[in-house]
Amino acid sequence: MNPKDFPIKDLLPHRNRMLLVERILEANESISVSSAVVGDHWPLVREGSANPIVMVELAAQTAGINNSINRLKTRGKQDGNMGWIAGVKSAVFHMETLPVGATLITRTRNSFAFEDFREVTATITLNKTVAAEVTLQLVSA
């Protein structure tokens, strides 16, 4: 089962302007890597740039890819693909804005898991420069 073969819309419940992730670059049991191009249709975009807080959602969606692939492998498609951000443990933004048209690479890693709770660390880069470091606490349905 190649993670790149899964349509993103089968892995994430997000649609329209809330679906930020465009491509799965890598995914396995503990990590996911995605790419996304900052679009003028994204939430929190104004005057040609996005507020960096949108990278929290990028981290969550990239982690959701990993969660959904694992769930498909272990429980099957009928189990759904829902999860929620239970908390933002930390978020450090190294850029004040993200220009529309910029490609962001998001790498997430499961750093802790217990039953349906996970802690995920994420690094988001723009042109090989770290744009943000985010640690999320996630709960699966």
Q: How far is CA 3 from the centre of its chain?
A: 14
- For the stretch 75-126, pLDDT in tens is 766 666 577 889 999 999 999 999 999 999 999 999 998 988 999 999 999 9
Q: What is the pLDDT of residue 52?
A: 98
Q: What is the pLDDT of residue 5?
A: 67
Please name the amino acid found at residue 27: A
**Residues found in the chain:** 141
What are the sequence ranges of the domains in the chain? 3-140
Residue 11 near residue 69 (C-beta atoms within 8 A): yes
Please name the amino acid found at residue 131: A
Evaluated on CA atoms 63, 65, 66, 68, the torsion sign reads: positive
- DSSP state letter for 48: T
- For the stretch 45-60, pLDDT in tens is 999 999 999 999 999 9
The pTM (predicted TM-score) of the whole model is 0.91
- DSSP state letter for 76: -
Residue 63 near residue 108 (C-beta atoms within 8 A): yes
CATH of domain 3-140: 3.10.129.10
